[in-house]
Amino acid sequence: MTASKLLRKAEQLLARYPLCDWCLGRQFAILGYGLTNRMRGNALKTLLLLVSTETYQKDRKRGSTCLKRLAEKGMFLPALQFLEKEGITGITTVKQCSICLGVMEQLEEIANLAIQKLNGWEAASILLGSKISPDFVEREEQLRSELQIENGEPLKAEINREIGKIVIEQLDIPVDFKSPSIVVVVHIPSFTVELQVNSLFIYGRYRKLKRGIPQTKWPCRECLGQGCTRCKGTGKMYPESVEELIAAPLLEVTKGKSVKFHGAGREDIDACMLGTGRPFVIEIMTPRKRSIDLEAAIEKINQYAQGKVEVSQLRFTNKEMVKLLKSSSATTEKTYKVITQTEKPLLLEERQKLEAIPMPLEIKQRTPQRVLHRRADKVRRKQIYELTVTSLKNDKVTLLIRCQGGLYIKEFISGDNDRTTPSIAEILGKPIKCIRLDVIDVNLPEEELQR
């Protein structure tokens, strides 16, 4: 675009619409480098002033018309001062830009509101966004359509950028367009500010050392969490869970509102989780504090859990880790120690029969009856990689089973009325049941979790 065409377009804009420096300059946003739109708008008005004063010297009527337009609709003080110096009166300056309605002149005020809103919140990074009334967008789109403006940028983009620059500079917090700690949203024209606080994700491993504790909180089936006589007002089926024992100390130090617990699978309530522990991610919702001492947090959690649960290897992570844990839980190798009981003591040849099973062994397992109320009724194919008889005492048989994640071990032992086949009961040809179960390894290597 030539200089003459540029000035002609700016003149046409001001002939139809009162425009502040910001909104005039924004129509030419992709022209030039290192300039704000306010600088562009002011520069265009300054050039129009120079051209108009030259025209005024040659043709007072035509020049004064241009200068009046610049003073009135351009709200350009130097043009008004020139006309007053020349004794030209009757100038009515428009008080408000027709697109932004003065919002662009209040960016500092809006930024200060955002800064006040952020007080008391710790953030590693932020991102500023806005929700703008459609009226603003429609006015600018109409202007651009009428005058075929092709070099502009959206009002929303400029507001986000300019307020963001002020907030970031004053608070000395970096911007992050992909994963900010907090998204600050300003509402225009109400000048209200809301914070969208992103979750804090902490990875670790837990060991469950006491039976009878579920992994996550179970709402009472009777009252659905409201509190009743069955649950003694707690709203829960069980008094505590792995989730709650880990969450309580973390909520205290982060000042978060609530948590979501994401485990790499789960063990039965009556099973222990031993070995190096089960990988998990705890998602802390709306945390006010993020830079917590994780070593101190480990100690605090383990003290709070009083030997029921232990955590280790805590580190900060992100949402992608949750997806990785969920996607890997059905295929990750797990090792179980199972104490079983038969009606009659197992004979030596029966032990040998178990140890002679060719590996890997494919299991077809229909959803167990005990979990049909919460799992789809379908047949799953799972692999047994290793089965060893480690102890044989009368009617008690201890097995070490290494298998694919997602296999229901208790049903692999009992057969679950032939819903699992083959099963230990089927192979032995006699009833057998699991009386004690421990998970001793969840083989999800740390290098897999750090990809």
Cα→Cα distances 281→56, 93, 198, 208, 405, Å: 73, 61, 15, 15, 18
Cα(375)–Cα(354) distance, integer angstroms: 30
- 400: tokens are 């070490």
The pLDDT, as a whole number, for residue 269 is 94
What domains are defined for the chain?
Answer: 3-85 (no CATH), 103-195 (3.30.2130.30), 200-328 (3.30.70.2510), 333-449 (3.30.70.3190)
Q: What percent of the chain has pLDDT over 90?
A: 76
Cβ-contact 278, 265 below 8 angstroms: yes
The pLDDT, as a whole number, for residue 450 is 65
Half-sphere CA count of 316, side-chain side, radius 13 A: 10
Cα(367)–Cα(374) distance, integer angstroms: 10
Quick check: 451 pLDDT over 80?
Answer: no
Of the given ranges (89-98, 249-258, 307-316, 336-345), which has the lowest mean pLDDT?
A: 89-98
pTM for the whole structure: 0.86
268 catalytic per annotation: yes
pLDDT tens per residue, range 292-337:
999 999 999 999 999 999 999 999 999 999 998 988 877 789 999 9
The pLDDT, as a whole number, for residue 375 is 87
Cβ-contact 398, 390 below 8 angstroms: yes
Regarding predicted confidence, which is higher, 284 or 57? 284
- 222: tokens are 């009777």
Output helix, strand, coil percentages for the chain, rounded to the nearest 5. 40, 25, 35
pLDDT tens per residue, range 346-393:
888 898 999 999 999 999 999 999 999 888 999 999 999 999 999 888
Q: pLDDT band for position 449 (50/70/90)?
A: low
Nearest to 199 by CA among 258, 283, 116: 283
Q: What mean pLDDT do residues 96-114 have?
A: 95
Nearest to 414 by CA among 318, 341, 325, 320: 341
Q: Which DSSP state fits 226?
A: S
Quick check: 136 pLDDT over 80?
Answer: yes
The pLDDT, as a whole number, for residue 389 is 93
Q: pLDDT band for position 447 (50/70/90)?
A: low
DSSP lists the bridge partners of residue 336 as 401, 439
Cα(269)–Cα(214) distance, integer angstroms: 5
Q: 184 in the Ramachandran plot: left (φ > 0), alpha (ψ -120 to 50) or beta? A: beta
Number of C-beta neighbours around residue 180 at 10 A: 21
The pLDDT, as a whole number, for residue 292 is 96
Q: pLDDT band for position 154 (50/70/90)?
A: very high
pLDDT tens per residue, range 163-174:
999 999 999 999
Nearest to 352 by CA among 410, 437, 428, 436: 428
3-state secondary structure of 290: coil
Q: pLDDT band for position 237 (50/70/90)?
A: confident
The pLDDT, as a whole number, for residue 245 is 97
Contacts of 215 (CB under 8 A, 6+ apart): 208, 241, 242, 243, 261, 263, 266, 267
The pLDDT, as a whole number, for residue 238 is 84
Q: How distant is the alpha carbon of residue 317 from its chain centre?
A: 12
The pLDDT, as a whole number, for residue 229 is 84
Find the catalytic residue in 21, 268, 416, 441: 268
Q: What mean pLDDT do residues 132-159 have?
A: 92
Average pLDDT over all residues of the chain: 92
